[in-house]
Homo-oligomer: A and B are copies of this chain.
Amino acid sequence: MKDEFWFKEFHHKGFYIGFKKKKVLKEFKSKYQKIEVFYNEFWGNVLILDGLVMITEKDEFFYHEAIAHPPLFVSEKPKRVLIIGGGDGGTLREVLKHNVESADLVEIDEAVINVSKEFFPDIAASFTDKRANIITEDGVRFLEKTENKYDVIIVDSSEPFGPSSVLFTRKFYSLMKDKISDSGVISAQLGSYLFHKKFISEFFKEIKDLFKDSYLYTGITPTYPGGLWTYGIFSKKNLIKDSVWKKDIQTKYYNELIFKGSLKSEI
């Protein structure tokens, strides 16, 4: 079991997961982060950013379904959607299952988009949808200057350090609030339910009063630390618990009951 054939992600100094790199497909430093793609016999192609698993072909749908559908259903008739981050295209794919007019994806690192096109073509297929606008830019700068109002903003970022740290601030949530419509809804990935509980709890307390209705919720993510991921959802007008999920949107796992059963006011 030679170390160079294994990728290890430590979730804690006493706990990690190990993926055999059956074949290393790409390994380089972009302007923003270290990017690695390898093939694993169970999970398929695996994307690593700065040493953390972002997506695997086999289980990415769990995460993307959970971050995308809740805000779209809570906002009722979303027309304009903004995704901040999400450069692999998985969240975009789920968004485009809804009857939206446009979906802007603002990813800071063009290299992530290119890697997805090359090694995750089924996911990256969403980039070619005529409703999708792919913008390579800093999410905060884009929001500051845009005159658009969005019905839904989804913050599909990496962890709260490095390029994504500015996305975990009250200032950023105030900015998003200015850029959503009166019935606008925001969702964001916040971290591991088990490993990042303290951070999530404190950050949520810091921002929840900005919106009429705010919740934490969870979804399964097999290859993320602890298997259970936490998201935040923030609504300017509608009550999140009252959202009605249309039956014509097909998902592989996530659904209305799992979402509503996982809603929490604190963790």
Interface residues, chain A, CB within 8 Å of chain B?
8, 11-20, 22, 40-43, 58-59, 194-195, 220-222, 226-228, 255-262
**What's the number of copies of this chain in the assembled complex?**
2
Give CA–CA (A12, B16) in the complex, Å.
15
Residue from the set A14, A18, A22, A226 with the largest chain B CB neighbour count within 10 Å: A14
**A17–B16 touching, CB < 8 Å:** yes
Give CA–CA (A261, B220) in the complex, Å.
13
**Chain A interface, DSSP helix/strand/loop, else mixed:** mixed
The one of B15, B20, B41, B42 in contact with A40, judged by C-beta atoms closer than 8 angstroms, is: B15
**B16–A41 touching, CB < 8 Å:** no
Which residues of B sit under 8 angstroms from A22, Cβ to Cβ?
Answer: 14
**Could you list 11 A-B pairs, sorted by A, with CB under 8 Å?**
A8-B18, A15-B18, A15-B20, A15-B42, A16-B17, A58-B194, A227-B228, A255-B261, A257-B257, A259-B261, A261-B261
Which residues of B sit under 8 angstroms from A259, Cβ to Cβ?
Answer: 261
What is the minimal beta-carbon distance from A137 to any residue of chain B, in angstroms?
34
Across the A-B interface, the 5 shortest Cβ-Cβ residue pairs: A227-B227, A257-B261, A14-B20, A258-B261, A12-B42
Give CA–CA (A221, B228) in the complex, Å.
9
A17 with B20: in contact, given A194-B59, A227-B227 (CB under 8 Å)? no
Give CA–CA (A262, B259) in the complex, Å.
11
**A15–B14 touching, CB < 8 Å:** no
The one of B15, B19, B220 in contact with A228, judged by C-beta atoms closer than 8 angstroms, is: B220
**B20–A18 touching, CB < 8 Å:** no
Residue from the set A17, A18, A43 with the largest chain B CB neighbour count within 10 Å: A18
Give CA–CA (A43, B58) in the complex, Å.
27
Give CA–CA (A16, B15) in the complex, Å.
11
Which residues of B sit under 8 angstroms from A12, Cβ to Cβ?
Answer: 41-42
**A18–B19 touching, CB < 8 Å:** no
The one of B13, B41, B42 in contact with A41, judged by C-beta atoms closer than 8 angstroms, is: B13
